[in-house]
């Protein structure tokens, strides 16, 4: 976004195609691709193409409602896609900031499945 002054991340290079990724779904607003280090038999990351200040979920405000809803509906669609290795349900996670274990500062939704998850996570 034009007001997004935070440093770029490697996800910008995935969006531009500079770094290859196994893209499973995309449109003008979001991209979904396989995680390079999957935490289960199926692991997809969903990101907004325009970060627009959303380095992390904790930066969200009312202006982000539409994209956040779009990311979550996409997470539902992906979690139902048996061809990607998902079973009945998934762990759908947003890691937010240092205490949340976030490493890439470009908001992303993890959709992890294909095995039964435990709660709480580590
Ligand atoms: P975070 O810890 O920020 O919530 O998750 C970042 C995720 O990005 C991790 O699960 C990590 O495996 C994934 N990741 C890091 N670098 C790459 C990459 O170059 N390509 C892909 N497809 N995933 C990556």
Domain count, the chain: 1
Residue 12 burial by CB count (10 A; 0-12/13-18/19+): exposed, middle or buried?
Answer: middle
Q: Is residue 95 included in any domain, yes or no?
A: yes
CATH number reported for the structural domain that contains residue 74 in this entry: 3.30.428.10
Tell me how far the alpha carbon of residue 81 lies from the centroid of ligand 1, in angstroms.
21
pLDDT tens for 67-98 read: 999 999 999 999 999 999 999 999 999 999 99
Tell me how far the alpha carbon of residue 72 lies from the centroid of ligand 1, in angstroms.
18
Q: Is residue 4 included in any domain, yes or no?
A: no
Q: Is residue 93 included in any domain, yes or no?
A: yes
Which of 64, 70, 106, 108 is flagged as catalytic? Answer: 108
Q: Is residue 119 included in any domain, yes or no?
A: no
Q: What is the ipTM, given to two decimal places?
A: 0.99
* Element spanning 97, H or E: helix 97-100
Q: Is residue 5 included in any domain, yes or no?
A: no
pLDDT tens for 24-74 read: 999 999 999 999 999 999 999 999 999 999 999 999 999 999 999 999 999
* Ligand 1 binding pocket, CB closer than 6 Å: 10, 19, 21, 33-37, 45, 95, 101-104
| pLDDT in the model for residue 122 | 76
Is residue 106 part of the annotated active site? The answer reads: no
């Amino acid at each position: 976004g034009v007001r997004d002054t935070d440093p770029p991340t490697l996800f910008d290079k995935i969006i531009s195609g500079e770094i290859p990724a196994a893209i499973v779904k995309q449109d003008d607003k979001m991209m979904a691709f396989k995680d390079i280090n999957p935490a289960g038999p199926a692991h997809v990351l969903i990101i907004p193409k325009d970060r627009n200040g959303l380095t992390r979920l904790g930066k969200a405000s009312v202006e982000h409602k539409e994209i956040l809803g779009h990311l979550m509906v996409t997470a539902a669609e992906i979690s139902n896609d048996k061809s990607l290795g998902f079973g009945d349900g998934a762990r759908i996670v947003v890691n937010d900031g240092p205490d949340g274990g976030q490493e890439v500062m470009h908001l992303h939704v993890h959709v992890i499945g294909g095995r039964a998850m435990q709660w709480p996570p580590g």
